[in-house]
Chain A
Amino acid sequence: MAISVDPPSVSAGLIEKAGYTFPFLSDPKAEVIRRYDLLHPGGGPNGSDISRPAEFLVDSSGTVRWTNFTEDIRIRAKADQMLAAAKEIH
């Protein structure tokens, strides 16, 4: 599931363009992004507040089982890393 400050209409366009099959949630006021301490103040275009890239794998009890906080916004978690983390959960 993907979360950003993009409004639902923008995410809908992205899903259509890229063919993603997972849900996209919108946090335009960055409330959840703030609650997760991921706010990147002024990190977006024209000094807008956005989320820093971060990934969390949450198990069915709601417990965080794996996280990834990149040091460089160009470097993201790869699919095989995330799949390996998911396979650890039974």
Chain B
Amino acid sequence: MPPADQYRRNWPLWLGTAFLLVTVGINVPQIYALDIPQGILPWLGLVVPAVAVACFVVGVRRAFAQPEIYRGRITGSILSLIALLLFVGSVWLFSHVRDVPPSSSAPKIGQKAPDFTLPNTSGQPVTLNALLSMPIDSSTGARPKAVLLVFYRGYW
């Protein structure tokens, strides 16, 4: 064992750890509500853990090849395994969240939205036509210019 001052910093392990932490942060759902281009986030969710794995591979190989200079054989191996699991999980998640039906027969721009009747939270039936024609301001009798239909997955 050489004295501690002869060790050199195994920086790929530190870099890998940083990317590992970013991977965790990027998967916090609230990040999608931030005012940033959302389209890039799913791809970052794949690339960042991949870079973490690559860093750990470099760092651990160093630690095993030159143990007299670089530390981190055990810690690096454990972190590599965690990074690999996170990467595999990220690939699975990436394909899972994009597994949405094509909805090729959904109403398109310029087409009529099919009318429907559904109960509101009081159990009262509500129709789309009624929502479109019902006054929204009782004092002026103003009717809505449009209605926004937001279909969501539910189970919130």
A residues sitting closer than 8 Å to B (CB atoms) are: 1-6, 8-12, 14-15, 23-27, 31-33, 35-41, 43-45, 50-60, 62-67, 69-76, 78, 82, 86, 89-90
Contacts and interface: CB of A to CB of B under 8 A. Distances in A.
A44 to B, nearest CB: 6
B105 A44 contact: no
Q: Is the interface of A mostly helix, strand, loop or mixed?
A: mixed
A85 to B, nearest CB: 8
B148 A5 contact: no
A22 to B, nearest CB: 8
Number of chain B interface residues as a range: 35 or more
A44 B155 contact: yes
Interface string B109-133: 1111111101111110010110111
Contacts of B143: 60
Contact of B107 (A2, A24, A36, A40): A36
